Amino acid sequence: MTASEDIKPNLTPTKILKCRNAECKVWVRDEFASTEQTCPICKGPMIKSIKHLPAVQNKIKRQPRKPKSEFDI
């Protein structure tokens, strides 16, 4: 056994949308999917499914800094 085999990510059942077209292998996490639920590659219909994936760390988006204006005092 090697060191890389010792480390296994925690996989959790995750809701996904996958393309219904058998030739198209596209899938996307449900939380990141668009509301229209069409395949972004072949534009076919997507179906709901579950896949065991590592958890995603959702980072807090920072607000962009406002540039300092010459007119600010």
Q: What is the mean pLDDT of each run of 10 residues along the chain (73 residues)?
A: 64 94 93 88 94 81 67 58
CA 43, 40, 27, 25: dihedral to nearest 10 degrees?
A: 60
Contacts of 22 (CB under 8 A, 6+ apart): none
* Amino acid 70: pLDDT: 58
Model pTM score: 0.62
Token pair for 61: 């988006």
3-state helix, strand, coil in the chain (%, to 5): 10, 30, 60
* Amino acid 59: pLDDT: 67
Quick check: 48 and 30 in contact, CB under 8 A? yes
* Amino acid 44: pLDDT: 93
